[in-house]
Structure 1
Amino acid sequence: MTQTTTDRPSGRTGGAVVPVLAFAGIVVAVMQTLLVPVVKDLPHLLDATPADATWVLTSTLLSGAVATPIMGRLGDLHGKRRMLVASLAVMVVGALVSAFTSDLLLMIAGRTLQGFAMGAIPLGIGLMRDTLPRERLGSAMALMSSSIGVGGGLALPAAALVAQHSDWHALYFGAAGLGVLAIALTLTVVPESPVRARGAFDLPGALGLSAGLVLFLLPVSKGSAWGWTSGTTLTLFAAAAVVLLLWGLMELRVPAPLVDLRTTARREVLLTNLASIMVGISFFVVSLVLPQLLQLPAGHGLGQSMVVAGLCVAPLGVTMMFTAPVYARLSARYGPKTTLILGLLIIAAGYGGGLGLMDAAWQTVVTSVVIGAGIGLAYSSLPALIIGAVPASETGAANGLNALMRSIGTSVSSAVIGMVLANTADTVGGVGIPTTHGFRISFLIATAAVAVGLVLALFLPAGRPSEQHPRLRASSEEDANLKRAEAALSGFRGRVLDAAGVPVARAEVTLIDRHGRRAGATVSADDGGYALTVPAGGAYVLAARAAGHAPLDSPARHGGDGHPVDLDLSLPAETVSA
C-alpha cells in the first residue's frame, strides 16, 4: 500500500532552483526540435527510404510517451531529482550515439534514448511543489510547464543556422553539451524532494502501459503511410484498446499501482487531462504549419529561408516564457481554471486571426505571438490544476500522465494535419506541395480542438478560495476560526513556530494520511494557531510551509478517540545555498 514518508528538506530553496529546473525543461525541448530543420533531408542524410527515415522521429515519440509516466512514478518512489538526473543522463547518451553515426538503426536507437528525457518536465514540476514556498510556486510551475514551448521556439532558428552552415551531427553534440550542463546545475543547485511514496514499483503495470501506448501511438504516427483503413492500422488500434482495458483492470487491483486510476477518474483530474490533449493539438498545429508556410516557394508559401522561418516562429516560445509571471498573478487572483479558460480563448483568437494572416512573414509573427501567449497561459494552468487535485506523493506520476496527454495531443495533431495537408496538396512534378487552403483547414481544426478544450475547462470545478489567493484566505478568517474550534475537539491542534519560537502566521499546514493522500489543510492564524480534524485514527504527516522558512514534515499519530492531540510545529530556518 502506498504511503508517504518524508525527510526534513535541506532548505536549499534559493533563487537558482527555478531557472535551473526550467533550463532542464528547455534542454528537453531543444532535443525534440533538433531535427525540424533537416526533416525533409533525412532520407538522403541517412541513406534510407522516406518511410524508414520517419522512424527517427517516431522512435522519440514512442519512448517519450512510455518514459514520462514511468519516470514520474519512479520519482515519487525514489526521489524526483534522482530521476531527473537519470532522464537527462540517458538523453546525453542518446545524443552522443546519434552524433557519431549516420546509420539508420543506430540513429533510431540514439533517438529512442533521447525520448526518455521527456520525463524531466513533470519531475521538475514535482520538485517545485515539494521544495518551494507557495508564493513562488505559481510562477515557477508556469515557467517549467512552458519550457517545452520556450525551448522549441528558441531552438528552431539556432538549429536551422547550424544545419545550414555546419555538419548536421553538430546538432547532437550541442544537445549533449546542454544535457551535461543541465545535470551539473541540477546536482549543484536543486535539493532532493523530501516527499516519498512508499511501496514497490509496479513493473507489470509499467509493461502493460508501455505496450498499450506503443500499440496506440504507432498507428497514429504511421497511419498516413500505412493507410488509415489498412489491416495493420486497424489491428494495432484494436490491440491497443484491449491491452489498455486489461491494464486498467489490473491497475485497479494492485495495492501500489503505476497510475492511481481512481485518482485519475476524479472530475478535476480527468477533465484537465482531456483538456491537455486539446492544448497539445493546438500547440503542434501552429508549430507544424507556420514553418512550412514560411519556407515554401512563392506561389505556395512565403519563400523565406530556413533561418528566417525559425526567427518568425521563435516568438511562439518567447511569448510563452513571458506569460509565466502574468499567469502567476492571474492565477493567484482568479484561480488556474480561469487562466486556462482565458488561455484557450486567446488561442482561439490567434487561430481565427491567423486565417487571414498568411500573406507576409510579419503576419506569421503576429500569429505566433498571440497563440504563444494563449498556450503559455493554458500550459501553465494544467500542472496547477493537477497538483491541486492529487496528494503530494502522487505529484510525479500525476504530472507525468498529464504530460503524456499533451504528447498524445501532439501525436494526434501530427497525424491529422499531415493527412489534411497531403489531401489538399498541389502535385508539381510528381511531388505534393501543401497549399494555403490546407493550412487554413489546419487552423480550423486547431480552433475546433480549442473549442472542445474550452467546454471541458468550463466544467472543471472552481478551486476553493484557500487554494487560489492569499487575500481570500485572510478574508475568511472567521470561518477558519470556527473550523479550528471544531478540529480542536477531534484532531491535531497547536501552533506553528519559527526556529526562535516566534509564532508564524499564514503558514500552510497540510494533513497527509498513511496512503499519501491529503486529508485536510488549513492556514495558521496570526498567533500561529492551527487545528485540523482527522477522518480516523492512525498515522499521519503534518506538512507545514511558510515563506522565509524551510518546509517541515512532522510524523504524528492520532488515536481516533475524539480527543485532540497537541502538536506544535517548529519550522527550521531557510538556508540559501551560495
Structure 2
Amino acid sequence: MQSAQRRNRIGLYTALTLLSIVSSAGITVIYSMLSVLYRHFPDASAIGWVVTIYWLVSAIAAALCGRLGDLMGRRKITLWVLGLCMAGALIAALAASLEWMIVGCAIQGLASALTPLAFGILRENLDAKSIPFAVGLLSAVGMISAGVIYLSAGVVIDHYSWQGGFWFKLILALAAMLAVYLAVHHSEPKAGQRVSLFSGLLFAPGLAALLVVVQKGAAWGWDAYTWGLLAAGVGVLLVWGRQQWQQPAPLIDLRLLANRQVIRANLCMVCIGMGCVQIGQVMSLYLQQPGGTLGSFGLSATGAGLSMLCINLFSLIGGPLSGRIAARRGARSAAIIGLSIASAAWAAMLFLHATLAATLACAVLSTIGFAFAHPAVYNLIIEATPAERTSETTGVTYVFFACAFALGAQMIFTLLASDHAPPMANALSLPSDLAYMRVFGYVLVMTLAGLAVAFTLPKRPAKEQVELALAE
C-alpha cells in the first residue's frame, strides 16, 4: 500500500515538474532566438510583438484558465492548455511569415496558465503539510529550468535551425501531457456553479490595453493615442470590476481577493516583479558590458548564460527551504527572510559591483532571496484561499506578477538609458556605471518596499487563515 502511494506521489511530482518546465520554456525559448528572428525576418520593428503578444496572452490566460480549472476540473483544463501550447509551437515552427510566427507565440502564451493549475493540482492531491514544500520546489524548478532551457534551445538553434527551439517546446509539452494524463487523478467539475463567462471576460481587453501601453508606450511616444488607450483600458477594468463585484457567481471573485492577506501578498508580488526578479536582464547586460567601461567584464553571451545558470542553481536552496519554513512558521516568515536576503544583496551590489567575484556573489544572494520570497507569496495566497479557488487566486497573482515584470523592465531600460559611458572606438554607446548604480538602487528600493509590506502581513497561523477564508 505504501509502495503504491509512493509511486503515485513520484508520478505526481514528475507531472508537476514537467508543467513547471513547460511554463518556463514558454518565453525562455522565444528570448533565446530573438537575435535570429531579427536576421530572418526583414520587419525588425514588428519583432517586438513576438514578445509583447506572448505576455498579453499569458497574463489573461493565467487568470482565465486558473478559474476554469477550478470550475471544470484542473486536469482537464491542463491537458487542453498543453494541447494548445503544442499547436502554438507547431504553428511557429512552420511559420513562413512573421504574422504566423506572432500567432503561434500568442497561443504559446497559454503556458503561463500551467502555474496556477499546477498549484491547484498539488493542493488537490497533497496533504496540507506537504503543500508549502511542493510550491517551493516547483518555483525552484522553474528558475533552474529557465537557465537550462535557454542554453539547450541555444544549442538547438545554433546547430540545427531556429525552428528547432519550437520543436523543442513541442516535445516538452507532449511529455508533460503524457505525465499529467497518467499521474494526475481526474477532478470533478464543481456542481451548481454557473458563471457569466462573457461579462467575466471583459477584463481581457482592459488588461491587454494596459500591457500594450506599458510595453510599447516609450516606443510610440506619449501622445493622445497612447493616453487614450491607457484611459480605455482603465475604464474597461473599472466597469468589469463593478460588474464582477455585484455578481453572485463571478468569473473572478473580487471579494475573495479583498482578503487582507491576499491583498498584501499581491502587493509583495508586485514589488518582487518590479524589483529583484529583474536580476536576469540586469546581470545579462552587466556581465556582457564590453571592456573599456567600469566593471568591463566583457563576458560572451554563452559565458553570461552559463553564469546565470550556475547562479540559478542556488534556487534549489531557497525554494524548498522556503516551503519548509512556511509549513512550520507560516509563509509570512519565509517572505520576510527572502526579501531581507534580497535587499542585502542589492545593497551590497551598489558598492561591490566593480569586481566579477563580488558581483556574482551578490547575484547568488539575490537569487536565494528571490527563491525564498517568490514561493512564499504563493503560499500566502494558498493559506488564505479555499482549496476550490486555488487556481483562480494564484492565477490572478500571476497577472499582477506579469504586469509588474513588464513595468519593471521598462523602468530598468529607462534608467540604463539615463547616462552613458564615453563612446568606444566603434562609437558604441553603453550605459555608464552611474546608470547601473541607479538600476541597482531602484531594485533595492522595490525590494525594501516588498519587505515593508511583508512585515504588515497577519501573523495568524496558516490553519487559522484558511478557516477565515472559508468563513468569508
Would you call these one fold, judging by a TM-score over 0.5? yes
- Aligned equivalent of 1:575: none
Q: Does 1:285 align with 2:278?
A: yes
Q: 1:267 to 1:63 in 2, by over 3 A?
A: same
Cα distance, 1:116 vs structure 2: 0.6
- 1:413-562 maps to which residues of 2 (within 5 A)? 413-426=408-421, 432-464=429-461, 466=463, 518-519=470-471
**Unpaired segments of 5 or more residues in structure 2?**
none
Task: Give the partner amino acid of 1:76.
Answer: D
Which of residues 190, 206, 211 is equivalent to 1:212?
Answer: 206
Q: Does 1:152 align with 2:146?
A: yes
- Aligned equivalent of 1:174: 168
Which of residues 47, 54, 58 is equivalent to 1:53?
Answer: 47
- Greater helix proportion: 2
TM-score, length basis structure 2: 0.92
Q: 1:128 to 1:12 in 2, by over 3 A?
A: farther
Cα distance, 1:412 vs structure 2: 0.7
- Which digits, 9 at most, give the CA deviation of each residue in 1:525-560, with x for residues without a partner? xxxxxxxxxxxxxxxxxxxxxxxxxxxxxxxxxxxx
- Aligned equivalent of 1:106: 100
Which of residues 321, 342, 349 is equivalent to 1:347?
Answer: 342
Root mean square deviation, CA, Å: 2.4
**Which has the higher mean CA deviation after the structures are superposed, 347-356 or 295-304?**
295-304
- Which digits, 9 at most, give the CA deviation of each residue in 1:378-425, with x for residues without a partner? 111112111111222211110100111111111111111122222324
- Aligned equivalent of 2:246: 253
Q: State the structure with more CA Rg.
A: 1
- 1:63-142 maps to which residues of 2 (within 5 A)? 63-142=57-136
Task: Give the partner amino acid of 2:125.
Answer: T
Q: 1:57 to 1:465 in 2, by over 3 A?
A: closer
Q: 1:283 to 1:113 in 2, by over 3 A?
A: farther
Q: 1:85 to 1:246 in 2, by over 3 A?
A: same
Q: Tell me how far apart the structure 2 counterparts of residues 19 and 130 of structure 1 sit (CA, whole Å).
A: 16
Q: Tell me how far apart the structure 1 counterparts of residues 230 and 131 of structure 2 sit (CA, whole Å).
A: 40
Q: 1:177 to 1:415 in 2, by over 3 A?
A: same
Cα distance, 1:13 vs structure 2: 4.6
- Which digits, 9 at most, give the CA deviation of each residue in 1:134-179, with x for residues without a partner? 2221111112234432322322333333344442221111111111
Cα distance, 1:211 vs structure 2: 0.8
SS at match of 2:313: helix
SS at match of 1:14: helix
Cα distance, 1:224 vs structure 2: 1.8
Cα distance, 1:44 vs structure 2: 2.2
Q: Tell me how far apart the structure 1 counterparts of residues 232 and 78 of structure 2 sit (CA, whole Å).
A: 32
Task: Give the partner amino acid of 1:130.
Answer: E
Identity %: 28
SS at match of 2:129: helix
Q: 1:206 to 1:106 in 2, by over 3 A?
A: farther
Task: Give the partner amino acid of 1:61.
Answer: W
- Which digits, 9 at most, give the CA deviation of each residue in 1:55-76, with x for residues without a partner? 0100100000111100001001
Task: Give the partner amino acid of 2:118.
Answer: G
Q: Tell me how far apart the structure 1 counterparts of residues 349 and 168 of structure 2 sit (CA, whole Å).
A: 34
- Aligned equivalent of 1:530: none
Which of residues 17, 38, 44 is equivalent to 2:12?
Answer: 17
Q: Is 1:27–1:175's contact at 8 Å kept on the other side of the alignment?
A: yes
Q: Does 1:328 align with 2:326?
A: no
**Which has the higher mean CA deviation after the structures are superposed, 320-329 or 259-268?**
320-329
Task: Give the partner amino acid of 1:518.
Answer: L
TM-score, length basis structure 1: 0.75
Q: 1:12 to 1:240 in 2, by over 3 A?
A: farther
Cα distance, 1:360 vs structure 2: 4.7
Which of residues 7, 30, 34 is equivalent to 1:35?
Answer: 30
Task: Give the partner amino acid of 1:100.
Answer: L
Q: 1:350 to 1:195 in 2, by over 3 A?
A: farther
Q: Is 2:284–2:304's contact at 8 Å kept on the other side of the alignment?
A: yes
- Greater strand proportion: 1
